Amino acid sequence: MRFESGEQSNNVEDRRGSGSGRGRRAGRIGIGTILVALVAIYFGVDPAIFLNSAGVDGVPPGPGAGNGQRKAGEDELARFVSMVLADTEKTWHALFAAAGRQYREPTLVLFSGATRTACGVGQSAMGPFYCPADQKVYIDLSFYDDLRNRFRAPGDFAQAYVVAHEIGHHVQNLLGISSRVQSARQQVSAAEGNRLSVRLELQADCLAGVWAHHADRARSVLESGDVEEGLAAAAAIGDDRLQRQAQGHAVPDSFTHGSSEQRVRWFRNGLAGGEVAGCNTFDGGRL
């Protein structure tokens, strides 16, 4: 990917090594780590729908995740993540304005190990996640080691997809989709609730593709091979692939984020069409 302006977001809160739990907000990524735990889960709501329980919503961390040690190249990666966030802000501001709405920018929190959130305890074991209660995206950068090494999904666009997917959840929150899905899940069976969760996650994949579509049209951010990197990342974290790796077989009724084929298809839909309306995973279309 290329971000010619090098612009970074002002909405990055760096808690790696801070020790205080407050971190700091900075366009230029600073230093920090926090190992703090909260006690209560946000208003008793099932955290699975909001904390997107592991690794870009579903990927378990590797044995070295969240050990609190700064690794070589991590600050460069933090700057890249901040540039991706800045680009999502430009895109979603424009798309919301075109629809007569106002986009509220989320905050991206860098942490190591564990951190407090308005949704409860945030841990690296959850992988990247979005908390609607404080409108923040939380990322332990060690996740990217797993994405590259364990799941064979390297590349900067694969890393950008991680951020864009979580920003997709923020867009869903602003549009009221997340709260409606959560209310619906509380009234149906566990299997049907999982299917609703899958639809929510696939929509976030599609919205990530919408961002990439418009970012490339407006600022030519994509380079040769980037699309393949994004599709590989989406495929690597499908429920079916992860379950086969963990237990030798897949159980579709237990899916919460979608199969590899589904995630690739919806990400590709958003990337090709660039239309939020084209990301309606809840409208009777095949999953």
Is residue 3 assigned to a domain? Answer: no
Is residue 287 assigned to a domain? Answer: no
Beta bridge partners of 25: 13
Q: What is the arithmetic mean of pLDDT over 233-240?
A: 72
Q: Tell me if 241 sits within 8 A of 152, measured CB to CB.
A: no
Angle among Cα 178, 90, 25 to the nearest 5 degrees reads: 80
pLDDT top residue among 25 and 232:
232
Band (233; pLDDT cuts 50, 70, 90): confident
Is residue 6 assigned to a domain? Answer: no
Is residue 4 assigned to a domain? Answer: no
The domain of 108 spans 12-279
Decide if pLDDT at 100 tops 50.
Answer: yes
The pLDDT of residue 84: 98
Q: Residue 7, Cα to own-chain centre: how many angstroms?
A: 21
Is residue 274 assigned to a domain? Answer: yes
CA distances from 157 to 87, 99, 154, 265 (A): 13, 27, 8, 17
Band (251; pLDDT cuts 50, 70, 90): low
β-bridge pairing 12-14 and 114-117? unpaired
Cα atoms found within 13 Å of the Cα of residue 215, Cβ hemisphere only: 32
Is residue 20 assigned to a domain? Answer: yes
Q: Is 247 exposed, middle or buried (0-12, 13-18, 19+ CB in 10 A)?
A: exposed
> Residues of 102-137 as b/e, b for ≥16 C-beta within 10 angstroms?
ebebbbbbbbbbbbbbebbbbbbbbbbbbbbeebbb
Please name which of 197, 54, 8, 23 lies closest in space to residue 117, comparing C-alpha atoms. 23
The pTM for the full model equals: 0.81
165-198 pLDDT, tens per residue? 999 999 999 999 999 999 999 999 988 888 899 9
Number of domains within the chain = 1
Is residue 214 assigned to a domain? Answer: yes
The pLDDT of residue 152: 81
Is residue 7 assigned to a domain? Answer: no
